[in-house]
Chains A and B, each alone.
Chain A
Amino acid sequence: MSDYRGIFADGLWNNNVVLTQMLALCPLMAVTTTATNGLGMGLATTGVLLASNLVIASLRDFVAQEVRIPVFVLLIASLVTLADMAINAWLHELYKVLGLFIPLIVVNCCVLGRAESFASRQQVLASAADGLAMGLGYTLALVLIGSCREVLGSATLFAHASLLLGDGFAFLETTLIQDYKGFLLMLLPPGGFLVLGFLLAGKRAMEQAAKRSKVKEEFHCSVQ
C-alpha cells in the first residue's frame, strides 16, 4: 500500500510533470488562458495517460524489446484518436476551444515517457496508478497556471465551465471583481511564459525555505 502512496506523491508533487520535470509544456502554455480550459485539457490527458499505461503494462510481455517504441507510439496514437472522437462527440464546445491540442497529446512527452519508464517495467495496477497520478499532477499544474492567468487577466475563475464541461460544473464559475478592466497581456502568449516563470521560482523558493529550516547547512541549488 505504501508504494501506491509513493506513486501518488511522486505524480502530484515530487516528480510533477510540469513543475519538476518541465515536460509537456506546449499544451500547458497554449490552452491555459482560463482555468476551465486547463481542467478540460488536464482531464483529457489524464484519460489517455491512464489508458496508455494500462494497455502498455498489460501488453509488455508480448512486445519485443527492439520494436517497443514504435509499438508504444502506435498504441498511444490509437488511444488519442479515440479520445479525439469522444471529445468531439460529447464535449463539442471544449473540442472547439482545445482544437489542435487534443491530437497533439500523441507527441506529449509525458505520455511516451511514462510508458517507457514505468508501464513497460511494472505491474498493471501500479502502472494504472502511476498514469492516474501523473495525469492528476499535470491537471493540477494546468489548473494552477490557468487560474493565475484567468484571475490576473479577467478576474474570473472557471468562466464558461458549464458550457465547456457540462452543466454539472456550473458551481465552479465565479467572478472575483465586478467591472474589471482586464489585463490582456496575461491572456496573450507572453503571459503564459511569465506566469510559469514566476510559479517555478515560487516553488523553488518554497522548497529552499523548507530545506533551510530542516538543515542548517549551506544549500546549494543544483537544479538548472
Chain B
Amino acid sequence: MRDYLFILLGAALVNNVVLVRFLGLCPFMGVSSKIDSALGMGMATTFVLTLAVSASWLLEHYVLIPLDIQFLRILAFILVIAALVQFTEMFVRKASPSLYQALGIYLPLITTNCAVFGMALLNVQQKHDFLSSLLYGFGSALGFTLVMALFAGIRERLALANVPAAFTGAPIAFITAGLLALAFMGFAGLPVR
C-alpha cells in the first residue's frame, strides 16, 4: 500500500513531468494563458496518459517481449497512443457531449504531447508491475494538471503586470516557469522516489 502511495506522490511531485523531467512543455507553454483551458487540457491529458501508460505496458509484456521484437517499441507505442487518442475522442463524443465540448480541441493535440509518449517509455524502463504502471501514469498526469493550473493562475496575473518591453510574453513566462521549477525542487526532499 505504502509503495503504491509513494509511486503516486513521486510521479506527481518529486519527478514532476513538466518541471523536472521536461516533458509536455508545448501544452505547458501554449495552453496556459487561461485557467479554464489549462484545466481542460490537464483533464484530457490525465485521461489519455493513464490509459496510454497502462496500454503500452500490456503491449510490451504481452506482445513485444514474447515475440522478442522490443526494437519496434517506438513504432508500436506511437501507434497505440494515436489510436487511443482517436478512440477517446469518439468515446467522449458519444458518452458525454458536454465534456466533448469542453475538451474538444485539446484531444487531438495530445498525440504530439511528448509527456504521453515519454511516460510510456519511462514506465517500461522502470520495470513496474501493472498496478504500479497505472498509478505511475495517473500520478504523473495529476502532476501535469497541477502544474498547468498553477502556471495558468500565475500567467493570468502576469498579463496585468508591468513587464519590461523585451520580456513581455514568452520570455517572462519562461522565467516564471524557472522560478516555479525552483519551488518544485523543494519536493526533492521528500523520502519518495
Interface residues of chain A, those whose CB is within 8 Å of chain B, are 22-23, 25-27, 29-30, 70, 73-74, 77-78, 80-81, 84-85, 100, 103-104, 106-109, 112, 185, 188-194, 196-198, 200-202, 204-205, 208, 221, 223-224
Contacts and interface: CB of A to CB of B under 8 A. Distances in A.
A74 B74 contact: no
Given A25-B25, A208-B166, A190 B178 contact: yes
B113 A30 contact: no
Contacts of A25: 22, 25-26, 29
B79 A74 contact: yes
The list of the 4 closest CB pairs from A to B, nearest first, reads A193-B178, A197-B174, A197-B175, A30-B22
B170 A200 contact: yes
A201 B113 contact: no
Contact of B22 (A26, A108, A112, A205): A26
Contacts of B166: 201-202, 204-205, 208
Interface of B: 19-26, 29, 71-75, 78-79, 82, 111-114, 117-118, 121-122, 125, 164-175, 177-179, 181-182, 185
A200 B179 contact: no
A169 to B, nearest CB: 25
A223 B167 CA distance: 11
Chain A interface mostly = helix
A85 B71 contact: yes
Given A81-B72, A106-B78, A223-B169, 6 more contacts: A104-B118, A189-B20, A190-B181, A192-B22, A193-B174, A201-B172
A196 B78 contact: no
Given A26-B26, A77-B78, A201-B167, A104 B175 contact: no
Contacts of B111: 107
Contacts of B168: 221, 224
A81 B178 contact: no
A100 B121 contact: yes
Given A100-B122, A189-B19, A191-B178, A201 B112 contact: no
A208 B177 CA distance: 24
B175 to A, nearest CB: 4
Contacts of A78: 75
Contacts of B29: 22, 25
7 contacts: A26-B23, A73-B78, A74-B78, A74-B79, A192-B22, A193-B178, A204-B171
